[in-house]
Structure 1
Amino acid sequence: MGTIPPPNTGDLHVSVEDLDAAAAYVDRLKQYVDDTISYEMERIKERMKGDSNTAQTVPGGTPFGAYEDARMQWQALTKSTGNMETHLQTLSQKLAALKQGTEEIAKAFRDTEARNGANGKEIERLLEAAAPPPAAGGTPTYPYTA
């Protein structure tokens, strides 16, 4: 079994604006799942109930009928619909976690950029306060005397 080389990060560039845009896009996906798809699932479940004006007169009957195959098909459809609802809830939770994680990464990069900027300004200030370099062939001067 071979070894996996480390990723090449030589030209890695992080755009906080793109991370913010990605978080907004993921939020729109989550809203679509929560609003549109979940609404359609509710409509499917209502349609599965059948005609509510005509009551079932056969004990154990389903909208597909009362014979054994109809009951098996109804159970399979009910289970499938329940599984789909569970998957939609899981998808919504994972999209929410993805959005939160993306926002945290963007915040970390914003904080790092701010710290780097502050450190850069501090380094510039220290360099400007230091004694100028000696002229070519000259003796360095030190602000401190012994």
Structure 2
Amino acid sequence: MGTIPPPNTGDLHVSVEDLDAAAAYVERLKQYVDDTILYEMERVKERMKGDSNNAQTVPNGTPFGAYEDARMQWQALTTSTTNMEMHLKTLSQRLASLKQGTEDIAKAFRDAEARNGANGKEIERLLESAAPPPAAGGAPTYPYTA
């Protein structure tokens, strides 16, 4: 098995605006999962309960019937529905984490850009306040001690 070379970051450009847009998009995805899909899963579970006004007259009966295959199918459907609901909740949590991570990266780059801008202005200020260079062959304008 070969080694994976590190990524080439020579031309790396980060757009904080694109990161903000990505975070907003992930939030919309999370809202869709939470508001639409999880709501529909709740509706499926309610419909699976059947008509509660008409109690089962057969012991161990399911909406599919009381015979053994019906009970097995009902158990499989219940397990499947529970698993899907857990996966959707996990997806929602991971989308929230992705959004938070994207926002953190955007903030870090925003802070780095601000620091770079401040450092650049400080360097400009120091360069402007420095004495002009001496003329060719001339003595420096500041006192030199050896």
TM-score grouping bracket, smaller chain normalisation:
over 0.9
For 2:123 and 2:3, the matched residues in 1 are separated by: 41
**Equivalent residue number for residue 74 of structure 2:** 74
Paired AA for residue 97 in structure 1 = S
* Partners of 2:139 and 2:49 in 1: CA distance: 93
Identify the residue that residue 139 of structure 1 maps to in structure 2.
138
Which aligned pairs between 1:1-146 and structure 2 lie closer than 5 A?
1-135=1-135, 137-146=136-145
By how many angstroms is 1:145 displaced? 4.7
Is this contact kept in 1: 2:20–2:103, CA < 8 A?
Answer: yes
Encode CA deviations 1:22-52: one digit per residue, 9 max, x unaligned. 1111010000000000110011111112233
- When residues 140 and 83 of structure 1 are mapped into structure 2, their CA distance, relative to the original with a 3 A threshold, is farther
Q: Percent identity?
A: 84
Residue aligned with 2:90, SS: helix
Q: Would you say the 8 A contact 2:59–2:66 is kept in 1?
A: yes
C-alpha separation in 2, matches of 1:3 and 1:88: 36
Instruction: State the alpha-carbon separation in 2 of the partners of residues 124 and 17 from structure 1.
Output: 28
Q: Which moved more, 1:3-12 or 1:45-54?
A: 45-54
For the 8 Å contact 2:41–2:85, the answer to whether it is kept is yes
Q: Is the 8 A contact 1:62 1:71 kept in 2?
A: yes
Structure 1 residue 140 displacement after superposition: 4.3
Query: Which whole-Å CA distance do the structure 2 matches of 1:6 and 1:65 have between them?
Result: 60
Task: Write out the 4+ residue segments of structure 1 that deviate beyond 6 Å after TM superposition.
Answer: none
CA distance in 2, matches of 1:134, 1:96: 60
CA contact (8 A) 1:50 1:63 kept: yes
How big is the alpha-carbon RMSD for the aligned residues of Structure 1 and Structure 2? Answer: 1.3
Mapped to 2, the partners of 1:140 and 1:61 lie a distance apart of 105
- For normalisation by structure 1, the TM-score amounts to 0.93
Aligned residues, how many?
A: 145
